[in-house]
Every structure is written in structure tokens, then in C-alpha cells.
């Protein structure tokens, strides 16, 4: 079992990707209401080498010497990866050793206002920043940022990064993710501000995401597909300058090459005793949170498992007589 790498996990955005945790669980510059990893425990903009880059590289080399190459290696995890001050060194060494394996950075984009952070991730192949709102109110309500962050500086930073990144190679891609929260970033003012920000950033793609399982705010509900489609149509420039798409999640185990029946059984066995949160399941099985989510998505879809709201957040339990 590895400490810093997990998966490979399937995603509609990246295919089969091998994830790397760059910072401890929920060390982040934001505390998003929809975060599926739970509330942020260390809200910070302080950069340091939270996890030693040499140890992460050691695990990566070991994994890649024994397994087929994933479609992507992704720097993501359950916190903000650019908080790790060694990210530039990791990307440079990895791309020197494995030039044929694409490397993606999934970032909330909040530190891209910093020249050093932009420079450190330039050698990656694909960067997926997020921007949930271009209005101070919406940004505050959805993303609950560290007090030192400034929304206008963030948008300017993502825009600068896009230009600097594309200047290294036009083949490099920036995919901007927007998490849709019904009633907050779906008003005409929010959509208009988002459209203005997207026009400045000029990403290759805009990907609309939505709640699939309850986040930290257990009252949040998944927006209906009709709303997602309306937002997609409103953000579409109509001339192909950028593509707007709705991200759909994998629901079928046959679509997931890395699906292991024994992992599904471990999770089912753990929650058959009593309802557990994803953190509890992680404690019991040792599996990574994102790996666990992959199986829970399928089990919930198959109506074998359901989620209930408890004192510590979202719990998963077996549906008696489930299929
Ligand atoms: S930026 Fe990502 S890890 Fe951080 S709180 Fe938001 S969703 Fe969670």
C-alpha cells in the first residue's frame, strides 16, 4: 500500500488516472461547501513541502515499474496540490524520467496569482483550475476562501497562467471547472460574471460539475440536468472559442478498467456491520478516499448502498435486500 499515490481511479475528465496526494487530507486554501472529502481542517495559503517530494517520486517509480502506465498521473488528492512548495521539482523530475506519461494538475487556481506557482506547474501537460463564481458573494458562499485570497487576483492569475502555459506549447490544455450550486452561481448576475471571466481566461474547455454524493453541506442537492443544460447553453460562446460540457460520472463497473471486486467486497463488508463515513471506511480498509468513492458511486447507483445524514456527516449503509 502506498502513502502518497492512489488509484488508478476512473474519471470522465481524465480517463484512468493515477492520483498523487501532495498535501495532507483537507489542507486547502478553500473550504468548499460541496467538497466530498469533508470540511477543510487546515485552511491556509502557506506553502511548504507538506509531503517530501523525494518520497512521492520513490512511490511513483515503484508503481510504474510494476504496472502499466495510466492515462494520466494527476496531482490532486483531498487538498490543494500547489500548496506543496516542491511541486515544481516533482513535475520537472517526473517529466524528465517519464516524458511519455501525461501529467495533469487539478488545482483550485487560487495560488496562480503567484508567479512562482505559475512557473512551477508550466512543465505539466494539462491544468484543470476551478472557478465557481466570479462574484465576491458567490465565491465566499460556495468556496469559503482563506481570508488572504482575493477573487480578482485569482481570475487575473488564472488568465496569466493560461497565456504562459500555452506559450510553452499550443498543445497544452487548460480545462476550467465550475461546480454548479443551484441558487448561488446560477443567477443571471453570476452567469454573466462567469462568462466575463471565462472570456478573459480563454480556457480550452469549461467543464460543469455538480454534486454526485452529499458534500460537507449535507443540505445541498444535486441540480437537475435541465439546469445544468441551461447553464451550459448560457456559458457557450456559440463560436467554438471554448467548449462547454457537463461532466458525467462513471456509474457502471464494466466501464471501470481498474474495478476490483475484492475492493468492493471489503467496503460492503465494512458497512454491513454499521453505517460508516468515507473516512471511517478509509480507517477500516486502508483504501484512499477517492478510491473508496469510486466503489461507492457504483454501489449507490446499483441500489446496494444508500447514504444517510448522521451526526458526523454522510454515512453509507447497506440497503437490506438491495440488488
Ligand atoms: S478546493 Fe477541492 S479540496 Fe479544497 S475544499 Fe474545495 S473541493 Fe475540497
Question: Which residue's alpha carbon is at the smallest distance from atom 3 of ligand 1?
Answer: 79
Tell me, what's the pLDDT at 119?
98
Ligand 1 close to Cβ of residue 177 (< 6 A): no
Q: How far is the CA of 45 from the centre of ligand 1 (A)?
A: 13
Tell me, what's the pLDDT at 253?
59
Q: For a pocket test of ligand 1, which of 25, 27, 32 has the largest count of ligand atoms closer than 8 A to its C-beta?
A: 32
Q: What is the distance in angstroms between the CA of the first residue and the CA of the last residue of the chain?
A: 31
pTM: 0.84
Ligand 1 close to Cβ of residue 80 (< 6 A): yes
Ligand 1 close to Cβ of residue 217 (< 6 A): no
Tell me, what's the pLDDT at 195?
97
Tell me, what's the pLDDT at 256?
60
Ligand 1 close to Cβ of residue 35 (< 6 A): yes
Q: How far is the CA of 65 from the centre of ligand 1 (A)?
A: 31
Atom of ligand 1 nearest to the CA of 26: 3
Tell me, what's the pLDDT at 162?
98
Question: If we measure between CA atoms, which residue out of 229, 235, 233, 247 comes closest to residue 203?
Answer: 235
Atom of ligand 1 nearest to the CA of 29: 4
What is the full per-residue pLDDT of the chain (323 aa) written as tens digits? 899 998 887 777 887 789 999 999 899 999 999 887 778 999 999 999 999 999 999 999 999 999 999 999 999 878 999 999 999 999 999 999 999 999 999 999 999 999 999 999 999 999 999 999 999 999 999 999 999 999 999 999 999 999 999 999 989 999 999 999 999 999 999 999 999 999 999 999 999 998 766 555 656 778 999 999 999 999 999 888 999 999 876 555 555 656 678 888 889 988 988 888 888 888 888 888 778 888 888 888 888 998 887 767 778 889 887 65
> β-strands 42-43, 27-28: how paired?
parallel
Q: Is residue 80 within 8 Å of residue 109, measured between CB atoms? A: no
Going from the N-terminus, what domains does the chain have, and what CATH number goes with each? Answer: 5-249 (3.20.20.70), 254-318 (1.10.10.10)
Q: How far is the CA of 28 from the centre of ligand 1 (A)?
A: 6
Strand partners, 215: none
User: H-helix or E-strand containing 227?
Assistant: helix 225-235
Q: How far is the CA of 252 from the centre of ligand 1 (A)?
A: 26
Sign of the torsion angle spanned by Cα atoms 125, 130, 135, 136: negative
Phi-psi sector, 35: left (phi>0), alpha (psi -120 to 50), beta: beta
Amino acid at each position: 500500500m502506498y502513502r502518497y499515490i492512489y488509484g488508478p481511479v476512473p474519471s470522465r475528465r481524465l480517463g484512468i488516472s493515477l492520483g498523487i496526494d501532495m498535501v495532507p487530507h483537507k489542507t486547502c486554501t478553500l473550504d468548499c461547501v460541496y467538497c466530498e472529502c469533508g470540511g477543510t481542517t487546515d485552511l491556509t495559503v502557506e506553502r511548504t513541502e507538506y509531503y517530501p517530494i523525494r518520497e512521492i517520486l520513490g512511490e511513483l517509480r515503484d508503481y510504474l515499474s510494476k504496472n502499466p502506465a495510466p492515462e494520466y498521473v494527476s496531482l490532486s488528492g483531498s487538498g490543494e496540490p500547489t500548496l506543496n512548495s516542491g511541486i515544481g521539482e516533482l513535475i520537472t523530475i517526473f517529466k524528465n524520467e517519464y516524458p511519455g506519461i501525461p501529467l495533469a494538475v487539478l488545482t483550485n487556481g487560487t495560488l496562480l496569482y503567484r508567479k512562482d506557482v505559475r512557473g512551477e506547474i508550466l512543465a505539466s501537460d494539462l491544468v484543470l483550475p476551478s472557478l465557481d463564481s466570479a462574484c465576491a458573494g458567490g465565491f465566499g458562499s460556495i468556496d469559503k476562501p482563506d481570508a488572504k485570497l482575493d477573487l480578482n487576483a485569482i481570475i487575473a492569475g488564472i488568465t496569466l497562467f493560461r497565456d504562459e502555459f500555452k506559450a510553452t506549447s499550443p498543445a497544452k490544455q487548460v480545462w476550467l471547472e465550475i461546480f454548479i450550486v443551484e441558487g448561488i452561481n446560477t443567477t443571471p448576475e453570476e452567469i454573466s460574471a462567469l462568462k466575463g471571466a471565462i472570456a478573459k481566461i480563454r480556457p480550452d474547455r469549461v467543464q460543469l460539475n455538480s454534486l454526485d454524493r452529499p458534500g460537507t453541506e449535507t443540505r445541498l442537492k444535486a441540480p437537475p440536468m435541465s439546469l445544468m443544460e441551461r447553464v451550459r447553453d448560457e456559458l457557450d460562446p456559440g463560436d467554438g472559442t471554448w467548449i462547454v460540457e457537463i461532466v458525467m460520472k462513471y456509474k457502471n463497473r464494466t466501464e471501470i478498467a481498474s474495478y476490483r471486486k475484492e475492493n468492493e467486497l471489503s467496503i460492503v463488508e465494512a458497512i454491513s456491520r454499521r453505517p460508516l463515513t468515507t473516512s471511517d471506511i478509509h480507517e477500516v480498509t486502508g483504501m484512499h478516499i477517492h478510491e473508496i468513492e469510486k466503489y461507492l458511486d457504483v454501489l449507490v447507483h446499483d441500489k446496494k448502498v444508500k447514504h444517510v445524514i448522521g451526526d458526523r456527516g454522510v454515512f453509507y449503509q447497506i440497503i437490506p435486500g438491495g440488488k
